[in-house]
Amino acid sequence: MRYVIKPKSGAAASSATKTTKTTKKSRSVLNPESSSIYERIHEHSNRSTNTAGQQSAKIPYPEATRERIDKAFEELKNQNFTRAEKVFQIILKEDQDILSLFHYQNIIIGLARSLKEQTRKKQTEACSLLEELRSTGSFTDFGASTIHNLDLTLSRCEEALGEYFNAEARLLALRNKKPNANDKALCEPSGNFNADITIARLWQSMDKHTLTETLLLNINSELTRRLRSKPHAPSVQRLSKHIPTVNMALVRIWQVMGKYEQAERLLLKMSDRYENTSEDSLCEPSGQHDIDLKLVRHWGLVGKYKLAERLLFNMSGRQANASEDILCTLSEQSDTDLALVRLWPLMGKHQQSERLLLNMSGKQLSASEDILCTPSENRDIDLTLVNLWQVMGKHELAERLLKRCCELYQLDECELEELKLSPG
């Protein structure tokens, strides 16, 4: 099959050289009073700069500029996407004239990454920004942008919008793969780890499960071979970090494919557990928090609820024989509490789940409906509570809270459909 990338909003995608300056009306939903970001992208690309690939530490930016850049990427790293978006916008307004081309491109890509994690409208805005930036650069022989991380970010934005074939074509070009290549060639690691792992996840979303599994196994084999052949190479630390990422992707695809035993064996191996050991040992925290949570979710998926609950109790310092008051008291680990909240309904413990959720959102069950239906400003907690109330038949409460969540978090119909929620 031949894949074709469809241009968005007239963005040029064919020239391998710098394009001429274009004029567009601002499509920004973020700063409509400012001059068009799209015009500024072209203006900035035509300015002479120093070395495009120079690092931030080598550029004598004013202290305020350096602080803004650091803050924007720190907010992005901490998944504070709305705050990150605002800081990136400030940088574009206050500092664009002094930024090198390399850093200006990074700011645009950072802004797009922050938009991608928000509403569908902002995801569309992110694609438009990246397409515009893309039109100012050059391209490889396979048609991939040479601007660092641009096509990778753009493909993820397209995937978020459900534009799977555009995202796939873009990633194939980034991996130097021909669209009409056979499956064996498509599943060979390209040397670009981020592009490889991204297309593996994309293929899973496209129900191309065999391609996903084969590519991940090949990546794993390649990483293992490189680590064994050069155990003291400078790249060992980086390669070692890639293996858990690949393993978790393998766990997910095996769960989707119904290969639950393989998924569980890999999770146990990753957390230094043994298959045939006692339940006491299996349910002891491994010290690898994220992997333990993945194991909890896997056990929930395959119906091993008691094991999952026991591990969560141990992770959060709860005792199985404690009173309901104590079990529903917050621990110091909110993600563990949220996992427990999601597990309990599977065990028929809806009231305990509701009580812990309300405690997490600072509410009491005896509070008025108006208070109960006021969002806590934690999206995961609020939407989990909406879902729980729907399951419990408390439809009026669920509807009122969901409507307020839609306003606060700017949820659209597509996002609600993905969350399996419905206003009313």
Q: In the chain, pLDDT over 90 holds for what percent of residues? A: 76
Compute CA 268 distance to the chain's CA centroid, rounded to the nearest angstrom.
24
pLDDT mean across residues, the chain: 88
Q: What is the arithmetic mean of pLDDT over 284-295?
A: 97
Residue 397 reports pLDDT greater than 80 = yes
Confidence of residue 32 (pLDDT cuts 50, 70, 90): very low
At 235 the pLDDT is 80
Confidence of residue 4 (pLDDT cuts 50, 70, 90): very low
Query: Per DSSP, what are the bridge partners of residue 139?
Result: 145
Task: Give the position of tokens 């206050």.
Answer: 94
Query: Per DSSP, what are the bridge partners of residue 250?
Result: none
pLDDT digit string, tens, across residues 201-220: 999 999 999 999 999 999 99
d(CA 257, CA 263) in angstroms, rounded, equals: 10
Q: Which of 69-73, 226-230, 242-246, 349-353 has the lowest mean pLDDT?
A: 226-230
Residue 23 reports pLDDT greater than 60 = no
Q: Are 145 and 121 in contact (CB under 8 A)?
A: no
Q: What is the arithmetic mean of pLDDT over 19-48?
A: 49
d(CA 219, CA 187) in angstroms, rounded, equals: 9
Confidence of residue 419 (pLDDT cuts 50, 70, 90): low
Per DSSP, the residues of 159-202 read HHTT-HHHHHHHHHHHTT--TT--HHHHTS--S-HHHHHHHHHH
pLDDT digit string, tens, across residues 146-177: 999 999 999 999 999 999 999 999 999 999 99
Burial class from Cβ neighbours inside 10 Å (0-12, 13-18, 19+) for residue 201 reads middle
H/E stretch holding 38 reads: helix 37-45
Q: What is the arithmetic mean of pLDDT over 81-106?
A: 96
Burial class from Cβ neighbours inside 10 Å (0-12, 13-18, 19+) for residue 120 reads middle
